[in-house]
Structure 1
Amino acid sequence: MKYLDEFSDPDLARRLLDQIHAATTRPWAMMEVCGGQTHSIIRHGIDQLLPEGVEMIHGPGCPVCVTPLEVIDKALAIAARPGVIFCSFGDMLRVPGSGQDLFGVKSAGGDVRVVYSPLDALKLAREHPDREVVFFGIGFETTAPANAMTVYQARRLGTGNFSLLVSHVLVPPAIAAIMESPRCRVQAFLAAGHVCSVMGTAEYPPLASRYRVPIVVTGFEPLDILEGIRRTVLQLEAGRYEVENAYPRAVRDEGNVPAREMLLDVFEVTDRTWRGIGEIPRSGWRLSDRYAEFDAERRFAVTGIHTGESPLCRSGEVLRGLIKPHECAAFGKRCTPRNPLGATMVSAEGACAAYHAYRRLELADAR
């Protein structure tokens, strides 16, 4: 197949579904790690077409959603300072902190700008040498190489008024944390194809072996996801727990070697707090000592900001796969995309946003 619409072909989808139904003899629960996969599953109704008892559990794979509240508050504190140009991707501007969001800072006079690449922020820093320019660097292994390259370029060019507020997280430690949770029901994982396109697959076989779970690397279109589910069911039924690459058009076992080398140069592994989940050891990146001068937390002395989560928002349970979004009492009532309690409702990859966009009326009819 060469064209995107072929990955939504209904006849091919039906064949894959028939194979999944034919192979399934018992209930299984599998987690899709990526929020983009969650939206594709809910938008196309894939979870409703699967055999009865085959459950898709939505994982913590939305980078906006897992950015901890205290990091949002650090961003708000920096963005509100005079002389700062605070740059971010657009999906972060409506994520609530403990008191407001970045749109609120902007409306109060802060210079908050949406950019489409961290290099746009570096360009602004070179155009405004009298201003401090900060880029909000969040996300999984997918977005980290571009942020690493931008810091590398800032150092090479001597752009001292640029800095990065870092909140990068890593998928494999999150899988381990989920499997070690006492309430875990996950029996298999659909791994995020874009993460593996950068990092490769080498970190996953030890996880599959240790926790006895199949891990299938999967893309994001309907046929990608169905093929990932098919392979996962076949492994579960056979009692196998291996790593399979169902996304070979984008993923190689070794990943993107130059990108990985850049990451190793600019970042170092650290413990990281995940919003709604808590601290996971060695689950994130921070700037290495060579690039510490570009660390916005240190530059603006906001390392001491610590914020507790709202007790009204159950997004942490959603992110851990313990509940579905509509099982939260605030869903669609006190918590909506216009007035979100948590990031899972406002993010373009959040599970709560997916249910609100594609299942809201159906769920209302069922109540």
Structure 2
Amino acid sequence: MSTTTRAAVVESGGAPFTLADVELDEPRAHEVLVRIVAAGLCHTDLGVASGGLPFPLPGVLGHEGAGIVEAVGPDVAGVEPGDHVVLSFTSCGSCRNCRDGHPAYCAAWLPLNLLGGRRADGSATISRDGAPLGGHFFGQSSFAERALVDERSLVKVDRDIPLESLAPLGCGVQTGVGAVWNVLEPRTGDTVVVLGAGAVGLSAVMAAALTPATTVIAVDKVVERLELARELGATHTVNANEADIVEAVQLITSGAGADGVVETTGNVIVLRKGVDALAARGTAVIVGAPPFGSEVALDVNGMLGGKRLVGLTLGDQETQTAIPALVRLVREGRLPLDRLISTYAFKDIGQAVQDMAAGKTIKPVLTFA
């Protein structure tokens, strides 16, 4: 039996989010019906809503949901009604990368999460007046009061932490943390540079502060965000409006350069600066996604000193392990996500989008009554 729910629908590329009643299909074998309590708003949502990615519209987006299980499909084993869950990305579970514990590099990742808008078999999870809508976004489409979620998209969490505080774990936070912990793996005395002090970048700053790295440099153009980065663990900050990034890193490190760089802005000019700021054998991680087809020119001879440039999706996290660990850090106050979050009622999603695009808020989280 289908479920009628209120959702934020994007009718076409560039159109605003508008609230409308939609129908969710009945949960299939490995699907779960979740009542959404909170959902983070991410730049990926805005990129798709603008028409920048070939996701089928009209459709329902949202990929940082958190809520309470209401019903489960017949073959679901990990959760039951009443459980609190954080929603993240889905994966096939059977390809080589999934079997090796790297589901973010699933062979079917793009159609299952970002581009397909349907289940793997091509069927729709969401419809309106009998017509299918784009859905199944990251296996969830959580900009709605209820969502039909892939079992592999959700992680059971403890009930003692407000779900509003946990929703961003599903994408932005685990991405920034994973860039540091899973790729850079800082050693004692290392220098880590984070380019961009948005939600992903500040998550990387907090993650770096929990490692043996002794120098953590945050780079941005917004003074208030640089001040917040200091409070969250950065030892140094660089205002890119006032200083050249490479020169500033060289000055801070006495000419040594950075052992690790996390690029979160999606700006290829900034990415090039990050690579140039690396020390010998240093690693730069590409997290920010520029428009499709973007290229970056590199000094090839400069790379011969053992420099590495690594692309990253969702922190290369195995969510069933990573998200519970991050929840514990939130509970203990060692990952203070509340410093990043601004909450908005679901009906005010348009204002949340405006504030995020204008840089007035770092991580908008929609709340549902």
Which TM-score band applies after superposition, normalised by the shorter structure?
A: 0.3 to 0.5
Pick the structure with more strand per residue: 2
TM-score norm. by structure 1 comes to: 0.35
TM-score norm. by structure 2 comes to: 0.35
Greater relative CO (CA pairs within 8 A, separation 6+): 1
Pick the structure with more helix per residue: 1
